[in-house]
Amino acid sequence: MNADSYIYGTSFYHRFDVRPKLLFTLLYIIAVFFAESWYGIAGIVLLPLLISLSSVGAAETLRAIRRILPILILLFVFLPLQRRDGTPALVFSGTVIATEEGIYAVIRTAARFTALSMILMLLLMTSRNESIIAGLRFYHLSYNASIILSVMLRFIPYLGSVFSCIRDSMSLRLTEGKRGFPIFPSVTAFIVSAVRMIPDTASALEERGFGRKGRTEYRRLENGRWLLTEFALSAILPLIMLIIFR
């Protein structure tokens, strides 16, 4: 799984200890599911967006958004069609295409998906993999579970990089007079690649000794002077969001 995620930086979020950062990420994910009001929906997207802009900059933030864009487009195309009851908002030849309730539902789902993806991508963009594993070990997760979780966390950015490869590959095949890139072959290719990645990663892990007993623990996290403050901030901020944005 050859996906690049960590971006060098010295921002506030880069310097934030990985242990409170993991706590913040987890609590934020929970808070995201309680956002129901329009303020809440906007708020859950804006916060990770602002952290991203301040820590990795506009270009990388845009790059992260572009990675989830295909899924957002699919959500906006297909989700309103599934919610047909309610006040008609879009009618074509007497057929209700979308209702107000359907549009609200898709915006809420898209916002939650964006917020979740952004907060997880932020974790990966500002923390090295080994720190994340050490952070998970701090919460008494077994080493094997920590490795699996860190691999899973990188699955979305990995899929994003696979999609870029497919897009490039397909764009090199376009014949004269055609624009864009073919959607159905690309989606097929995407699914094939995603499925193929699972045994490849599993065998790479096992061939390098994953699962052996008697492993050496060699990475220890140091306690910085702001650790307690960072823990407090990580717990309070999502709690405030939960109260305000419900």
Partner 1 sequence: MAEAEITFSYGEGEDIFHSFSFSAAEGEHVLLLAPPGSGKTTLARIITGSVPAYSGGSLSGFVSVCGRDILSLPVPERMEYAGRVSQNSDEMMLFSCVEEEILFPLANLGLAEDEIERRLSSVLALLGLEKYRKVPSSELSGGEKRRLMLAILFAVDPALYILDESFDELSPSWRRKLAGMIHTSPRSILVLGSHELGEYSGVFDRVISIEDGKAGEYRRTELKRLEYRKSLESEHVLDVSSLSIERRHRSTGGSGFTLSVPSFSLRSGECAVLMGENGSGKSSFSRVLSGLLEEKSGSVMLDGRVLSPRERRRSAAVLMQNPYEELFLPTVGDELESTGAAASLIEAALSMFSLEREWYTAEISYGRAKLLQAALFYLLRRPFAVFDEFDSSLPYEESQAAVRAFLESGSGVIVITHDEAFAASLPGKRWEITEGVLHEC
Tell me the H-state helices in the chain: 12-15, 18-32, 38-55, 57-82, 100-126, 129-138, 143-153, 155-171, 183-207, 227-245
Determine if 211 is a binding residue for partner 1 (CB under 8 A).
yes
Stretch that binds partner 1, among 19-27, 32-40, 207-215, 227-235 (CB under 8 A): 207-215
Question: What mask, x for binding partner 1 by CB under 8 A, covers residues 213 to 232?
Answer: -xxxxx--------------
Determine if 202 is a binding residue for partner 1 (CB under 8 A).
yes
89: helix, strand or coil: strand
Cβ-count burial of 131 within 10 angstroms (0-12 exposed, 13-18 middle, 19+ buried)? Answer: buried
Q: Which of 50, 165, 235, 239 contacts partner 1 by CB under 8 A?
A: 165
Q: Would you state the structure tokens that stand for residue 143, as one six-digit string?
A: 């080493």
Nearer CB in complex with partner 1: 191/228:
191
Nearer CB in complex with partner 1: 85/172:
172
Closest distance of CB 183 from partner 1, Å = 13
Closest distance of CB 2 from partner 1, Å = 4
Closest distance of CB 225 from partner 1, Å = 24
Tell me the H-state helices in 33-99: 38-55, 57-82
The amino acid that residue 82 corresponds to is: Q
Stretch that binds partner 1, among 12-20, 26-34, 160-168, 232-240 (CB under 8 A): 160-168
Rounded CA separation 51/44 (Å) = 12
The amino acid that residue 136 corresponds to is: L
Q: How many CB atoms lie within 10 A of CB 27?
A: 18
The position carrying tokens 């990675």 is: 67
Q: Which of 34, 190, 226, 231 contacts partner 1 by CB under 8 A?
A: 190
Closest distance of CB 23 from partner 1, Å = 21
Rounded CA separation 92/79 (Å) = 17
The position carrying tokens 């008609």 is: 88
Contact between residue 246 and residue 40 where contact means Cβ atoms under 8 Å apart: yes
Determine if 205 is a binding residue for partner 1 (CB under 8 A).
yes
Stretch that binds partner 1, among 28-36, 41-49, 88-96, 194-202 (CB under 8 A): 194-202
Determine if 9 is a binding residue for partner 1 (CB under 8 A).
yes
Chain contacts with partner 1 (rule: CB under 8 A):
1-9, 60, 128-130, 151, 161, 165-166, 168-176, 182, 185-186, 188-190, 192-193, 196, 199-212, 214-218
